[in-house]
Structure formats: C-alpha cells, structure tokens
Amino acid sequence: MLHKKTGSALFTEIQNAFIGLDTQYTLATGETTKRIYLDSTASTLMMKPAHDVVEHYYQHYANTHSTLHFGAKISTDYYQWAHERMLSFLGANPKTYACFFTGSGTTAGMNRLARVFKHGRPEKTTALVSIMEHHSNDLPHRKHMEKIIHVPLKERNGKLGCVCIDMLENICKEHQGQLNYIALTGVSNVTGIMNPIYEAAEIAHRYGAYMIVDGAQLAAHVPVQMCNPKHPEQNIDALVFSGHKTYYPGSPGVVVARKDLLLSVEPEEVGGGMVQDVFTENYVVKSTFPDREEAGTPNIPGAIGLAVAIDILDRIGMDFLFKEEDKLIQLALDKMTNIPGIRIYGETNTNHCKRVASISFNMKDLDHGLTAAILNDYFNIAVRNDCFCAHPYVKEMIMDDLMSGVENIEMDDIDDYIELKRGMVRASFGLYSKDEDVHALADALMEISKNAEKYISHYHVDASGNYVHKSFRFDIEPFYPI
Ligand SMILES: Cc1ncc(COP(=O)(O)O)c(C=O)c1O
C-alpha cells in the first residue's frame, strides 16, 4: 500500500509529495505565481501519502472504544500502531515509556506534564526553563510551579546562542532539593538554534530533577533518542511535539513520558475510556496505557495520519534529513548574510551552534510587518512575522541590537522603541523546501533592500497597526470551497 522505497530515493519522491506546493495566488503586480511556503515552523504542509492512507482508512472508520465489529477492530489496531510508531520514532523503550495523544499540539501536552510533575512531587517547587522558550514551554510551568527560573543563553560577539550549560548546572546546584524538572526546547522556534538536550538531561538527573523536552521544532527535523542504553543518565523523561508541525495537520499533540511518572498521579483528565469501573461512590482508573491518559474519543484519523508521516520520515532516515536540512540552512545563511541592511538574529556560525528549521531577521528601516507584507504581496513568499510567541527571547535579541550599536537610540527611549519595533520576520523550512526557495527568498530580500522606498510608498498602516497595500486587495471569496 505504501511506498517501498527508502533513503534518498524516497526523499526525492516525498519532497514533491506535499499538498499545497503547487498553490497559486495573484500578486500585487497582477501576475499569478506559485506560492513559496516558508512558514513551516508555524505549521508544515501535509504529506500526501499520509493523507492518502487516511482517506483509505475512512472506509473503516469507527470509534476505538467500540471493540467487536470489523471497523472497530481495524480502527483500534491502527490507532494502537500509531502509539507504537511514536515510541519507536523517538527511541523510547515501550517497556518504560508510554505515548498518548492530547489536544491540538505541544501546548496541551506541556500543560498536562506541568500538572503531572507538580502533583507527582509537590515538595519540589522549582522548574527551570530557558529564556528562548515558546510561551507553551514557559507559561504552563509558571502557572503550575511555585518558582520558575529562566536559564540564560551563551553569547558570542553580541549574538545569543544555545542555552548555557555551565549556568544551567550552577542554577541546578543552587536549587538542589527544590528542583522538580528542567523543561527545555530542543530547537528554538525563532532562530532554529538547537539546545544540548542530552547534556541538560544529565545535569538534571545529577541534581535529582527530571528532563522534559519541548520537541515541537525537533521532531520533524532532528533524530531524537529518548533512551540511550549506553548513557541512561542522558535519557529524556518526557517529550512533547505537535503533529501539525510534523507534516500532518489536523493531528493531535504527542506526549511520550516515563510510565512510572504518569502512574504516580491520577490522570489529569477523567471521563470515558480511561476507567476500569465506575460506582456512584468512586471509580477505578485503568492502569494501562494509553487508555488511562486518553479520556474521551480521541482524534483517531489524525493520529494515524501522523504515524504514517513519521513512518515515512523514519524510512527516509532522520540522520539523512538532518544533513539535507543542514545544507539548506547553510545556503540560506550564506545568501542572507550578503544582503545589505539585514540583521539575522542569534548565533549564525553553525560551527558554534547548529540550527534547523528557522531563520529570523529584520531589514534596516523596514518594520517586520512591512517586510512580511511585501514578501507576500510582491513575491508570493509566505513567512511569519512578529514575536512568534517567544516575547522574552525576541525582546532580548532586539535589546542586544541596541546595545551593540546596530541601532542608534537614546537610553530613555529604549522601552518605547522595543514596544514599537519588537518583532522579526521568520523564514522557515520543511523537507519539501529546496535550494530554489532559498534563492527566491534571497533575491526578493535583495530587491527589497535596493528599492525599499518604492515598496514603502505602496503601503499605509491601518488602525490595528497592520500594513495594508494602497491599491491591491486580496480577494478571499474564490477560495471558499462551498
Ligand atoms: C518550540 C515550540 N514549542 C511549542 C509550540 C506550541 O505548539 P502548538 O501550537 O502545536 O501547541 C510551538 C509552536 O510554534 C513551538 O514552536
């Protein structure tokens, strides 16, 4: 049923097999061109072979809580396979780890884990996160733990890199005894900078803490090994990622965590499917996974589609994909650093910090919203702009710009300036991104940098602060399917 190819042959085939790669829009110039999708960090496009499998599966669709009829048996079997596939994809031993699906992404999983870890060890009231976290790996811990410490990042020539392992260890030492867990992103959703998660895990364990990894930007880009039999001290205790960032939109969030930790507290969510028996006076929770963690009817097709996408990633090989992406990121950094007036955020020397997926930048004298609007309206390049739900990190990097004299500004005006200017443009990549996409971005930025005044003159700012083209209007009506 599925492709029998593997490795680079499968990669070449799959690279072109995403829904949305041929989408066309008409631009401000009147031309109709193919969209260049550089917003994969927000959500990746859908892998078509995974979609095809789910369409086929719909013939048999049934609730996994039904058990006896044929469709229910097929659904239950497929759905169970999806859990097993997640565990093997992340190198998590099924004897000690469980996978469950939850909510719509990493956010739901991270909220669940914060509550589990808090209730599992209420006497340990402190958690560490880094300053580069997405709000989804910061606010749940702030809400549930008594104390949160933001670990600083390394800095080199005024550019921020990955989390500083020495400072992490010092903080752990200082707070030993109260430390419950470290929650660290594997990859920044702003700069694409990778964190040393295995080293951090070793430190966490040395000081009696658990290690949680936000894998939202990791899973689709980097090989992950939650269990390392040679170095068990580096094992990751729990990891969360989003299906919609792993080539299957509409799929759930994925949590993979140590069973003993999950079993130490009653599941946070209760209802049908997770109980052994219910009496009017009490109820007995199942001890089996994933049932005890998945109250209610799950997103069965989403989970199956994601498992197929992951199966294909594994067959291509995550090591192979990581190397391919490394070449693409290096090309993008090389091309972009040559554009006059560009500021690329975070450590750009990949010998010092590995990067995947995202590159964030600003163009001199252009607001991030305007750059993103021009890229869209004139070049059909889809990027994201603003603070990417990582306000402290973005603010810190903009502040660093000021301090390093990239911008000339009076100290008294700094807060106003940051408020006004905070935000960046982010170009981000997936396995369907090609060299030609990078060239198109670099050419567009070069053209914008050369003719900034011309482009600026086509826009005004509306009451909500958005850049609106003075004459071009994008008509959404024809895109409604019904
Ligand atoms: C690093 C990181 N963590 C967490 C999230 C939240 O993911 P979701 O929106 O799927 O809950 C994101 C989303 O962009 C992210 O990039």
Q: State if residue 64 touches ligand 1 by the CB under 6 angstroms criterion.
A: no
Task: State the distance from the centre of ligand 1 to the C-alpha of 73, rounded, in angstroms.
Answer: 33
Task: State the distance from the centre of ligand 1 to the C-alpha of 478, rounded, in angstroms.
Answer: 31
- pLDDT value of residue 413: 62
| Ligand 1, pocket-test mutation among 106, 131, 132, 190, most atoms within 8 A of CB | 106
| pLDDT beyond 70 at 23 | yes
Which tens digit of pLDDT belongs to each residue from 345-363?
Answer: 999 999 999 999 999 999 9
Least confident of 22-31, 326-335, 398-407: 398-407
Q: State if residue 251 touches ligand 1 by the CB under 6 angstroms criterion.
A: no
Cis-peptide into 290, omega within 30 deg: yes
- pLDDT value of residue 1: 45
Nearest Cα residue to atom 14 of ligand 1:
42
Q: State if residue 134 touches ligand 1 by the CB under 6 angstroms criterion.
A: yes
Least confident of 30-34, 119-123, 367-371, 402-406: 402-406
- Banded pLDDT at 419 (limits 50, 70, 90): low
Which tens digit of pLDDT belongs to each residue from 259-289?
Answer: 999 999 999 899 999 999 999 999 999 999 9
Which tens digit of pLDDT belongs to each residue from 42-94?
Answer: 999 999 999 999 999 999 999 999 989 999 999 999 999 999 999 999 999 99
Retrieve residue 249's tokens. Answer: 């939109």
Q: State if residue 217 touches ligand 1 by the CB under 6 angstroms criterion.
A: yes
Q: From start to end of 132-221, where are the E strands?
A: 147-151, 153-156, 159-163, 179-185, 210-214
pTM (2 decimals)?
0.95
In terms of Cα–Cα distance, which of 205, 214, 132, 203 is closest to 165? 203
Please check whether residue 393 is in contact with residue 364, taking contact to mean a CB–CB distance below 8 angstroms. Answer: no
Task: State the distance from the centre of ligand 1 to the C-alpha of 382, rounded, in angstroms.
Answer: 19
Which tens digit of pLDDT belongs to each residue from 172-202?
Answer: 999 999 999 999 999 999 999 999 999 999 9
Q: CA-CA distances (angstroms) from residue 23 to 26, 55, 245, 479, 481?
A: 11, 21, 19, 11, 15
Q: Is 447 helix (H, G, I), strand (E, B) or coil?
A: helix
- State residue 258 phi and psi, 5-degree precision: -65, 130
- pLDDT value of residue 170: 98
Distance CA 479, CA 482 (A): 9
Task: State the distance from the centre of ligand 1 to the C-alpha of 105, rounded, in angstroms.
Answer: 7
Residues 309-319, mean pLDDT to the nearest whole number: 97
Of 361 and 402, the one with more pLDDT: 361
Torsion of CA 322, 150, 158, 395, to 10 degrees: 100
- Banded pLDDT at 240 (limits 50, 70, 90): very high
Q: State if residue 235 touches ligand 1 by the CB under 6 angstroms criterion.
A: no
| pLDDT beyond 90 at 404 | no
| pLDDT beyond 70 at 473 | yes
Domains of the chain with CATH codes: 7-47+317-470 (3.90.1150.10), 51-315 (3.40.640.10)
Nearest Cα residue to atom 7 of ligand 1:
106
Task: State the distance from the centre of ligand 1 to the C-alpha of 108, rounded, in angstroms.
Answer: 10
| pLDDT beyond 60 at 208 | yes
Q: State if residue 107 touches ligand 1 by the CB under 6 angstroms criterion.
A: yes
- Please provide the DSSP assignment of 121-143 as one string: -TT--EEEEETT--GGGTHHHHH
Q: State if residue 221 touches ligand 1 by the CB under 6 angstroms criterion.
A: no
**Mean pLDDT computed over every residue of the chain:** 94
Which atom of ligand 1 is nearest to 245's Cα? 10
In terms of Cα–Cα distance, which of 460, 380, 367, 296 is closest to 39? 380
Task: State the distance from the centre of ligand 1 to the C-alpha of 98, rounded, in angstroms.
Answer: 21
- pLDDT value of residue 365: 87
| pLDDT beyond 80 at 418 | no
Q: State if residue 39 touches ligand 1 by the CB under 6 angstroms criterion.
A: no
- pLDDT value of residue 415: 62
Nearest Cα residue to atom 12 of ligand 1:
216
Nearest Cα residue to atom 10 of ligand 1:
105
Q: Is 88 helix (H, G, I), strand (E, B) or coil?
A: helix
Angle at 113 between CA 112 and CA 115, to 5 degrees: 70
